[in-house]
Amino acid sequence: MGANQDRSTLVNICLVGYGSIARAHVQALAGEPVTFHTVMGRLAEPTAAFAEEFGFRRHTTDLDEALADPAIDAVLITSPTDLHAQQTEKALRAGKHALVEIPLATSLTDVDALSAVARENRRCLMVCHTQRYYPPLVEARRWITEGRLHVYHLCVRYGFLRRENVNWMGRRRSWTDNLLWHHGCHAVDTALWLLGATEVSVASQVARPSHHLNIPMDLDILMRTPEDQLIAVSLSYNTKISYNEYLLIGEETTLLATNNRLTSPEGVLVDTTQAEPAPSSIQLQDREFLAAVREGREPAISASAVRPAMRVLQLVQDAART
């Protein structure tokens, strides 16, 4: 919002993309102080259908046209991974705040450039590292920051079956996902965030591109913090048993965090399937973005906050190319 605008007014949103994650964001923002102003998509017919379903005032297939509207305060980018950096830069230079689906970019150079553009234009730039809002992981991090768990080893496993070009909702895609920069970004960032680590040494192994999608379908990343904490991240698009888990092996005990539960040898510490209804992780994330916009401050998950993870991914990519 502009410097002279009333901060009690609604935030006018431009949504870029109409896929499954775009739908999740719109549902999360229902009831929040926002106006669904414009949706921009690749194809005219599904863009118009999405706009009608969710009550957007306008729809277009031209991003420049959407960004030229002075009524737009913020842009929510849910487009294919390879478009994030370019579209985010356009939004920021147009004077819009930006909430960007993970990953912010597919190179560390672009991450740093976007961080600079956000500062130069005094716009809020936040990235959707939604796992930082998962209750089991939030509680595990609290144990660490309060000194209740001194971690020796963090083992991360993240995988599901994606031998066909479909997304998590079974929707066929027009673009190909990226195991390293998308799901690897979730896993590496969450691991570093849990431990409060910003600098790590890195080793990795990346499988050859598959014949199905022509992308690596399996990879491993090994990290070591200056405190000699070990981090092992294993990712796969080949597993018929899906998993997303963080095993924290520490001096005092061992914790296992999944999407919905945090357990220890003593029992269940967090179980969101049994808890009273609460705001979802994506709702909490999107609310933080709106609060940062209204308060004129840096959001919790800024470009600088995710840079340590992006540095690791860049090192892995560079090693795979040699």
Does the pLDDT at position 3 exceed 70?
A: no
Task: Kindly indicate the confidence band of residue 141, based on its pLDDT and cuts at 50, 70 and 90.
Answer: very high
- pLDDT for position 167: 63
SS3 170: coil
Contacts of 5 (CB under 8 A, 6+ apart): none
Alpha helices by DSSP H, listed for the chain, are 20-29, 44-54, 63-67, 84-93, 108-120, 135-145, 184-195, 281-295, 303-321
**How many Å apart are CA 117 and CA 137, to the nearest integer?**
31
Does the pLDDT at position 264 exceed 50?
A: yes
Mean pLDDT of the chain, nearest integer: 93
- pLDDT for position 239: 95
Task: Kindly indicate the confidence band of residue 233, based on its pLDDT and cuts at 50, 70 and 90.
Answer: very high
Written as six digits, the tokens of 170 are 């079974």
Question: In this predicted model, what pLDDT tens digit does every residue of 51-60 receive, in sequence order?
Answer: 999 999 999 9
Q: What integer is the mean pLDDT of 259-279? A: 92
- Higher-confidence residue: 285 or 214? 285
Q: What integer is the mean pLDDT of 28-44? A: 96
- pLDDT for position 175: 62
Does the pLDDT at position 271 exceed 70?
A: yes
Q: Which of 77, 112, 88 is nearest to 307 (CA)?
A: 112
- pLDDT for position 201: 98
Written as six digits, the tokens of 63 are 């991003």
pTM for the model: 0.92
- Return the amino acid letter for 106: T
| Share of residues in the chain with pLDDT > 90 (%) | 87
Q: Which of 293, 287, 279 is nearest to 32 (CA)?
A: 287
Are 133 and 281 spatial neighbours (Cβ–Cβ below 8 Å)?
yes
Q: What integer is the mean pLDDT of 36-51? A: 97
Question: In this predicted model, what pLDDT tens digit does every residue of 157-205 receive, in sequence order?
Answer: 999 998 776 665 566 666 678 999 999 999 999 999 999 999 999 999 9
Does the pLDDT at position 249 exceed 90?
A: yes
Does the pLDDT at position 214 exceed 80?
A: yes
Question: In this predicted model, what pLDDT tens digit does every residue of 16-26 receive, in sequence order?
Answer: 999 999 999 99
Block residue for tokens 């500062």: 119
Domains in the chain, please, with CATH? Answer: 11-128 (3.40.50.720), 131-280+310-321 (3.30.360.10)
Are 108 and 133 spatial neighbours (Cβ–Cβ below 8 Å)?
no
- pLDDT for position 6: 45
| Share of residues in the chain with pLDDT > 70 (%) | 94
Q: What integer is the mean pLDDT of 269-278? A: 89
Does the pLDDT at position 4 exceed 50?
A: no
Block residue for tokens 């890195």: 202
Question: In this predicted model, what pLDDT tens digit does every residue of 53-92 receive, in sequence order?
Answer: 999 999 999 999 999 999 999 999 999 999 999 999 999 9
Written as six digits, the tokens of 157 are 């496993």
**How many Å apart are CA 319 and CA 322, to the nearest integer?**
5
Are 135 and 112 spatial neighbours (Cβ–Cβ below 8 Å)?
no
Q: What integer is the mean pLDDT of 89-113? A: 98
CA 188 to chain centre: 11
- pLDDT for position 176: 73
- The 3-state secondary structure of 246-258 reads EEEEECCCEEEEC
- pLDDT for position 275: 82
